Chain A
Amino acid sequence: MNRVLKASLTIVLALLVCLPTVAVPSAYAHLELPKEEQEKLYPKFPEHAVGTTDAAKKLEAQKPKGLVIPEVSREVTSNVFEVSLSELEGASARYDEKLVQFEAEAVGDIIEGPKGYKWVLFDDGTGSISCLVPDDYTRYITSLGRYGIQGSVLRVTGVYKVSDDDQAGEMDVRVYKAELLDSGEAIQEPLEPTRLYAGLGFVLLALLLLAFYKTVSKKAGS
């Protein structure tokens, strides 16, 4: 019974390791299409995503109950700080409750947030931060960065909070404007044949040495 249990546990664990990674590639099959074909699949980015304070007014009119969209006035939009995500990760008091802007890749997964919003992790190569993105905008994040995939790159503008009281003290950026710069693509890592041949060679060497050891140790035993 013990052996059966152990064997079952081993098989289940092995499945757990492999199964989740099997389904993922098919979700991004569209990225293997040529760029022109890909663009036909995506609807255009909404007009109000790129623009002026009208954008904020439209969002204000659409705001979900119980969630405050930061006030955006013409004066404030002129005080947008261009930042890198490493600065935001550093809990900089200089940018707390201010409008910030950065260009970054969407990575990982799109996770449920408060009503009308989703959590999206952005990474610009210097750091990463979770952002609250309005539902409307997440439809246009067509790929999420991971191995072999360049995620959608967006220019994001939003209010940075070192400790967001509405989100249990999390550090985040509440996005009010986002522009799609690159929809993303599949990246084929070039295969280095030297590593393949060297790997096969070493494995063969290991097997030969093992076989030699077995032979010699048998003789030594007898």
Chain B
Amino acid sequence: MWTRYQLEDFRIVGHFLGVILILLGAAMGIPLFVALINREWQPACDFLLSMGITMSVGSAMLLLKLKTPSLNGRQAILLTGLTWVFISFFGAIPFYLSGHHASFINAFFESVSAYTTTGVSILQDPHHLAYSHNIWRLMSMIIGAQGIIAFAMTVGIFSRSSGAGSLYKAEGKSDSVLPNIIATVRFSIIITCAFVLLGTFVLTIAGFFQGMSVSRSLYHAFYLSGSAFSTGGFTPMANSVIYYHSVIFESTLMILMISGAMNFSLFFTMWGGNFKEFFKNIEVKTLAIWAIIVVVIMGTALAHDSALGGSVFTLMRRGVFTVISSISGTGFQTLYTAQFAIAAGPAVMFAIVLAMGFGGSTGSTSGGIKALRIALIVKSVIADVKRALSPDRAAVRVKYHHMGVRVLDSQTASSAMTVFLLYVITYLIGTMIYVSLGYAPMNAAFDSIAATSNAGMSSGVISADMPMLMKVVFILQMWGGRLEFIALLALFAGLFVTFRPQALKEKFKEMRESHE
């Protein structure tokens, strides 16, 4: 039975949304500070105005409930879905005010791309973008990677709420590393800081020896490290990682991308001294096998079927980097878009599509179907085959190793299959829409999968002047992929059931009868 949301539900959710908007407004203080330090006066005004608008709306929404309420599961789903809408909307205000987006919908697209860590950019004139605006792009990615709700939890919002667990899961997170969800989120932020600092240190030195000044290399190093570990994919320069022409940059970024695509529970387990888990874990094994398969396909395709020249080392360097960037969902490129869309050949594009669609680990910052689900579906198929070949009364148990030995039950298998199907259906719907708008099927499929799996690569379909319908569909794909569909579908279903005309008629009838 579909239950409608009541006014009280919207008041409670609105109150918490207000808190989140106030936090978002406060976060805009960082790029405001950067703008003031750099004498970027106009960008400083942009951030002041954005901060003011966001916090004003947030403060007004606080008044919907005077006492901090607790959240139930249904309200948690509504809050998660609406949070991502509101954050993307208000986060787009600075982008729009920067003047580097032709329209607000373009700025909104950029904002959604940042928060969902997709990393596909339709920014105009990126080389003249202010440092403060660029820092806001990076911050949006990092906040989105950790989870907006998760960030709010670390500062004590929702701590008294019974809906904390539902909120955590509704944002696409699965494993809770520590008994306390808030401690889990704080641990993941500490891990992020550690990797970003390490990457910044290495890349700053590399950048300096590449000819950049100390300050510029520090800026690029920090930006790239944050973007790589968040598997976001934004870069300060338009031509991605090609700009640096450096094996050291590529190697360091590959390590960061792989780390960002790993389950945070794995880091915690290894932190506790259990290194064997890394080799036994089903996700790590699945990712490794899949990456090797895709590298072999890509290497063969590059060597035989493409117009790209170079030695075997060159091809493998480009191929391995592209595969890792695709699987982790980062979207960094060491080939220009046209090089792999035109010169490299269809087999290379197909390999990248496989990598993007597959995705990284659950409990990480990457997108896609996720390695664990693929592994569980395969295990489930094996279990079904075993059952078919076993005597009638035989009990077939399939085990797998994921932070300990677990038995595959029908609910887990069913859940994995459901999300897998939702991803595939979304890939197909997006592809059909873009093909109907005149794009080549391979390119349409490539960009549709890139958006849904939050990978961020583009074969040239995504651009600042693409039709409005495409922008809206891409935005929905990016959101759906980031939240793994359930939260978004629940939001739409809940709102439809609440506001459909029949429901509204019944509501008015009830109100009239109660007056009489």
The answer to whether B215 and A107 have CB atoms under 8 Å apart is no
Given known pairs A89-B338, A191-B41, A195-B97, the reply for A130 and B62 (CB within 8 Å) is: no
Give A217 Cβ to nearest chain B Cβ, in Å.
5
Cβ–Cβ contact B343 & A206, under 8 A: no
The answer to whether residues A196 and B25 also contact, given A91-B339, A112-B210 and a CB cut-off of 8 A, is no
A216 vs B15: C-alpha distance in the bound complex, in angstroms?
14
Q: Within the assembled complex, what's the spacing in Å between the Cα atoms of A93 and B308?
A: 12
Nearest B residue to A118 via CB reads: B211
Partner of A202, one of B37, B52, B63, B222: B52
Question: B128 near A146 (CB under 8 angstroms)?
Answer: yes
Given the contacts A109-B212, A169-B314, A191-B41, A123 and B67 also touching, CB distance less than 8 Å = no
Q: B interface, by DSSP: helix, strand, loop or mixed? A: helix
**Residue A17 contacts which of B34, B130, B216, B309 (CB distance < 8 angstroms)?**
B34
Q: B315 contacts the other chain (Cβ, under 8 Å)?
A: yes
Count, A-B residue pairs, CB within 8 A: 217
Chain B hits for A14, CB < 8 A:
30
Are B59 and A213 neighbours in the complex by a CB distance under 8 Å?
yes
Q: How far is the CB of B43 from chain A (nearest CB, A)?
A: 8
B244–A145 CB distance below 8 A: no
Interface positions of A from 1 to 39, Cβ below 8 Å from B: 5-6, 9, 12-14, 16-25, 27
- Given A121-B239, A203-B48; A111-B317 close (CB under 8 Å): no
Give the CA-CA distance A170 to B46 in the complex, in Å: 38
Q: A67 within 8 Å of B by Cβ?
A: no
Choose, from A69-77, A159-167, A173-181, the stretch at the interface. Answer: A159-167
With A12-B197, A130-B239, A216-B63 as contacts: A108 and B42 at CB distance below 8 Å: no
Cβ B125 vs Cβ A89 within 8 A? no
Given A22-B37, A163-B310, answer yes or no on A111-B45 (Cβ-Cβ < 8 Å): no
A191 to B, closest residue via Cβ: B41
How many angstroms between the C-alpha atoms of A14 and B308 in the bound complex? Answer: 42
Most buried by B among A14, A16, A189: A16
Which residues from A are CB-within-8-Å of B30? 14, 17
Tell whether A191 pairs with B42 under 8 Å between CB atoms, given A27-B213, A91-B336, A130-B243: yes
Q: Which of B48, B200, B245 contacts A16 (CB 8 A)?
A: B200
Closest B residue to A202 by beta carbon equals B52
B52 and A169 contact, CB distance less than 8 A: no
Give 12 CB contacts A-B under 8 Å. A13-B193, A14-B30, A110-B211, A111-B210, A121-B239, A146-B128, A165-B309, A198-B52, A202-B51, A202-B56, A206-B59, A209-B62
Query: Is there contact, CB below 8 Å, between B40 and A147?
Result: yes
Q: List A contacts of B25 (CB < 8 A).
A: 206
A113 at the A/B interface (Cβ < 8 Å)? yes
Asked if B56 and A205 sit within 8 Å, CB to CB, the answer is: yes
Tell me how far the C-beta of B455 lies from the nearest C-beta in chain A, rounded to whole angstroms.
Answer: 20
Query: CB of A43 within 8 A of chain B?
Result: no
Interface assignment of B255: CB less than 8 Å from any CB of chain A: no
| Contacting residues of chain B (205-219) with chain A, CB-CB under 8 angstroms | 209-216, 218-219
CA distance A51 to B50 in the complex (A): 52
Look across to chain A and name the residue whose beta carbon is closest to the beta carbon of B48: A199
Nearest Cβ distance between residue B235 and chain A, in whole angstroms?
11
User: What's the nearest-Cβ distance from chain A to residue B306, in Å?
Assistant: 9
| Interface mask (A33-51 → B, CB under 8 Å = 1, otherwise 0) | 0000000000000000000
Q: Is the CB of A171 within 8 A of B339?
A: yes
A residues less than 8 Å from B422 (CB atoms): none
A89: B residues at CB distance < 8 A: 336-338
B238 is an interface residue with CB less than 8 A from chain A? yes
Tell me the nearest residue of chain B to A219, going by C-beta. Answer: B66
**Pair A169/B310 contact, Cβ less than 8 Å:** yes
Q: How far is B97's CA from A119's CA once the two chains are assembled, in angstroms?
A: 33
- Interchain nearest-CB distance for A66 vs B (Å): 15
Is residue B55 within 8 Å, beta carbon to beta carbon, of the partner chain?
yes
With A24-B216, A169-B318, A192-B42 already in contact, the answer to whether A147 and B130 are too (CB < 8 A) is yes
Q: Which residues on the B side are within 8 Å of A213 (C-beta)? A: 59, 62-63, 66
Asked if A217 meets B243 with Cβ closer than 8 Å, knowing A19-B218, A171-B336, A199-B48, the reply is: no
- Verify B193–A202 contact, CB threshold 8 A: no
Query: A90 and B338: CB pair below 8 A?
Result: yes
In contact, A147 and B131 (Cβ under 8 angstroms): yes
Instruction: Say how far B8's CB is from chain A's closest CB, in angstroms.
Output: 16
User: Who on chain B is nearest to A109 by CB?
Assistant: B212
Taking A107-B128, A165-B311, A196-B48 as known contacts, 8 extra A-B pairs with beta carbons closer than 8 A to each other, sorted by chain A number, are A18-B33, A109-B211, A129-B239, A147-B128, A147-B131, A168-B317, A169-B315, A205-B59
